[in-house]
Amino acid sequence: MIFRQLFDPTSSTYTYLLADARTRRALLVDCVFERHARDLALIHELELELVGVLDTHCHADHVTGAWLMKTELGCPIALASAYGARHVDLPLAHGAVIPFGDHALEVRATPGHTEGCLSFVTPDRRLVLTGDALLVRGTGRTDFQRGSAHRLFRSIRDELFGLPDDCAVYPAHDYEGRTSSTIGEERRYNPRIGGAVREEDFVGYLENLALPHPKLLDIALPANLRSGEPADGRVPQEPDWAPIVTTYAGIPEVSPEWVALHQSDVHILDVRARSELEGQLGAISGAQSIPLDELRAHLADVRSDKPTVVVCQTGKRSALATTILKNAGMRVANLAGGMARWRELGLGG
């Protein structure tokens, strides 16, 4: 199984991508609206087919990227039926099984943080995604969204602590950078619910946390009840001057074929050393030449009346140049594959 843990530093949310290596079928769990381009790029680069976008619960601290992913890839949205959220194709309840190729996730109801919280367990009991029920050395809070410390105690004790000791625990959040734990570890060392704790100890602890109101609650909850669909129903636009694909590495790229057809609409910047321009690959006619090692000192010389497409030999140095120009606020994309690819495709100019 392919398993990736992704992080959103703004909300400290973990997103999980699980895929079957043979069939390439994949599930994405707890994706974040603002990280949509990153998640999509990884799915494309790993050549996966997303067969479901799941949320462990209706989040209060970030907006889900589920609707964006469904809009882009057509995959069904899965969420606990308890919330009655819009755009949900697979309303989930305890006992449901969500297959992806030769693998699956089993749904366990673990309410308490919210009334609809779910955990997802692999059938071999080696991995559980616990959402905000059980965290690494912590638990979710229970003071809003019809939370209940009593219910959370029973959810963790009955549904999660019954899993094997070596079952890996992957939570929806961690604020200290801790990535995972195991059921055995949490059963022993969790400061809220580990060891010989009794229900009243746990409830007393949670009822006295006195945590501040979640900053995004008033925005995130209504948005998540629409599965993350923006209020105006519009997909946020990537830069619209070209069909740009942002790679998982974060580089905006544009295809050589598109550039060849739209040469007059863009400004081409070649960042190879001047001596390379005379070489076998030649250069695209009309391209401005500023070698990469001079670029930072000559940012003001880069023409800005049109969007810039940056080129080098194979697209690597130009990727760095693209980042430099992007950080300087310019409309810019990297020419995928560089001059080598350009010539391979027999493009002229």
**Chain contacts with Fe ion (rule: CB under 5 A):** 59, 132
Output the smallest distance, CB 317 to Fe ion, in A: 43
Instruction: Please give the sequence-ordered ranges of beta strands (E in DSSP) within the chain, or none if there are none.
Output: 2-8, 13-19, 25-29, 49-54, 77-80, 90-92, 97-100, 103-109, 118-121, 127-131, 134-135, 138-139, 168-171, 181-182, 245-246, 252-254, 267-270, 288-289, 308-311, 332-335
3-state secondary structure of 275: helix
Q: Is 172 exposed, middle or buried (0-12, 13-18, 19+ CB in 10 A)?
A: buried
Place of tokens 């625990």: 169
Paired strand residues for 335: 254
| Alpha-carbon 300 to chain mean position | 35
**Nearer to Fe ion (CB atom), residue 39 or residue 55:** 55
Output the smallest distance, CB 147 to Fe ion, in A: 9
**Nearer to Fe ion (CB atom), residue 119 or residue 334:** 119
Query: What proportions of the chain, in percent to the nearest 5, are helix, strand and coil?
Result: 30, 25, 45
**Nearer to Fe ion (CB atom), residue 150 or residue 343:** 150
| Alpha-carbon 329 to chain mean position | 24
Output the smallest distance, CB 60 to Fe ion, in A: 6
**Nearer to Fe ion (CB atom), residue 59 or residue 108:** 59
Q: How many CB atoms lie within 10 A of CB 119?
A: 29
Output the smallest distance, CB 58 to Fe ion, in A: 8
Q: How many CB atoms lie within 10 A of CB 142?
A: 24
CA distance 110 to 79: 13
Output the smallest distance, CB 113 to Fe ion, in A: 6
Phi, psi of 97 (to 5 degrees): -125, 130
CA distance 25 to 11: 28
**Nearer to Fe ion (CB atom), residue 12 or residue 289:** 12
**Which residue has the CB atom at the shortest distance from Fe ion?**
132
CA distance 82 to 79: 8
**Nearer to Fe ion (CB atom), residue 31 or residue 244:** 31
**Nearer to Fe ion (CB atom), residue 12 or residue 182:** 12
Output the smallest distance, CB 22 to Fe ion, in A: 33
DSSP 119-146: EEE-TTSSEEEEETTEETTEE---SSTT
Output the smallest distance, CB 210 to Fe ion, in A: 18
Output the smallest distance, CB 216 to Fe ion, in A: 11
**Nearer to Fe ion (CB atom), residue 129 or residue 269:** 129
